[in-house]
Structure 1
Amino acid sequence: MRILLCNDDGLNAPGIQVLKEHLAKQGHDIVTVAPAGESSGKSHAMTFDRPVMVEQISAREFAVHGTPADCAFIGLCGLMADSPPHFLVSGVNHGLNLGVDVNYSGTIGAASQAALLGYRAIAASVDLERSRLAGSSPEQAFERAAQLVAEPVERLAHLKWPARLVLSLNHPGIEPRGIKPANCHAVVPYAPRLVSLTTEDSSRRQYLIDGVREDVCEDVEQDLAIVLAGYVSVSFLDVRQSISYSDTLVQALFAALGARTPTLASKRSSRLKLRWLKTVVVSVGKSVQEASGGDRKGEQKRTADEVPKQVADIKTGAVTDLAGVMSSR
Structure 2
Amino acid sequence: MTAPSDFKAMDRFANKLCQRVLLTNDDGIHAVGLNHLFGLAAALADEVYLVAPEQDCSGQAQSLTLHTPLRVQAYDTHRYGVSGTPADCVLVGLKDIVPGPVDLVLSGINRGANVGDAVNFSGTLGAAKVAAQFGVPAIGLSQAFKHPEHIFWDNAITFTAIIVRQLLQCQWPKTPCVNVNFPAVPAQQVEGISWCEGSEGSIRNVLVDKRMDPRNRHYYWLDFEHDYKQVTAAETDIATMRRRHIAVQCLNQANPFATGIAVIPDFANSKKEMPYD
TM-score by length of 2: 0.79
Contact 1:226/1:233 (8 A) holds in 2: yes
The equivalent of 2:242 in structure 1 is 228
Deviation digits for residues 142-176 of structure 1 (CA, Å, limit 9, x no counterpart)? 23113322234334333212324311000112132
Contact 2:193 2:262 in 1 (8 A): no
Tell me what 1:106 maps to.
Answer: 123
Name the stretch that deviates more: 28-37 or 12-21.
Answer: 28-37
Higher relative contact order (CA 8 A, sep 6+): 2
1:148 & 1:105 partners in 2: Cα distance? Answer: 22
- Taking structure 1 as reference, are residues 326 and 31 closer, same or farther at Cα in structure 2, changes over 3 Å only? farther
Corresponding position of 2:61 = 43
Q: How does 1:175-194 map to 2 (within 5 A)?
A: 175-188=189-202, 190-194=203-207
* Identical residues among aligned pairs (%): 29
8 Å CA contact 2:21–2:45 kept in 1: the answer is no
Which one has the largest radius of gyration?
1
1:37–1:16 CA distance, 2 compared to 1 (3 A): same
| Aligned twin of 1:237 | 251
Equivalence map 1:102-181=2 (5 Å): 102-129=119-146, 137-138=150-151, 141-174=152-185, 175-181=189-195
| Aligned with 1:214 (options 214, 227, 232) | 227
Determine the structure 2 residue equivalent to 1:323: 263
Local SS of the residue matching 2:42: helix
Q: CA–CA distance in 2 between the matches of 1:114 and 1:321?
A: 26
Q: How many residues align?
A: 247
Question: By how many angstroms is 1:322 displaced?
Answer: 7.6
Structure 2: runs of 5+ lacking an equivalent: 1-17, 272-277
Q: CA-to-partner distance for each residue in 1:91-138, whole Å, 9 max, x for gaps?
A: 000111112211110000110110000110000001122686xxxx32
Gaps of 5+ in 1: 239-310
Q: What are the equivalent positions in structure 2 for 1:45-84 lying under 5 Å apart?
A: 45-80=63-98, 82-84=99-101
Report the Cα distance in structure 2 between the residues aligned to 1:326 and 1:150, rounded to whole angstroms.
Answer: 17
Higher strand share: 2
* Letter aligned with residue 77 of structure 2: A
Mapping of residues 198-213 of structure 1, within 5 Å:
198-199=211-212, 204-213=217-226
* Deviant stretches of 4+, over 4 Å: 25-28, 200-204, 318-322, 325-329
Q: Which amino acid aligns with 1:42?
A: Q
Segment of structure 1 superposing worse, 160-169 or 217-226: 160-169
Looking at structure 1, the residues matched to 71 and 214 of structure 2 have their Cα atoms a distance apart, in angstroms, of 35
Mapped to 2, the partners of 1:178 and 1:154 lie a distance apart of 16
Structure-2 change in CA distance of 1:202 and 1:112 (3 Å): same
TM-score, normalisation: structure 1 = 0.68
How many Å separate the matches in 2 of 1:153 and 1:195? Answer: 38
> Which structure has more helix as a fraction of its residues?
1
Report how far residue 200 of structure 1 moved.
Answer: 6.3
TM superposition shift of 1:201? 7.7
Structure 1 residues 152 and 211, CA gap change in structure 2 (3 angstroms): closer
Structure 1 residue 87 displacement after superposition: 0.8
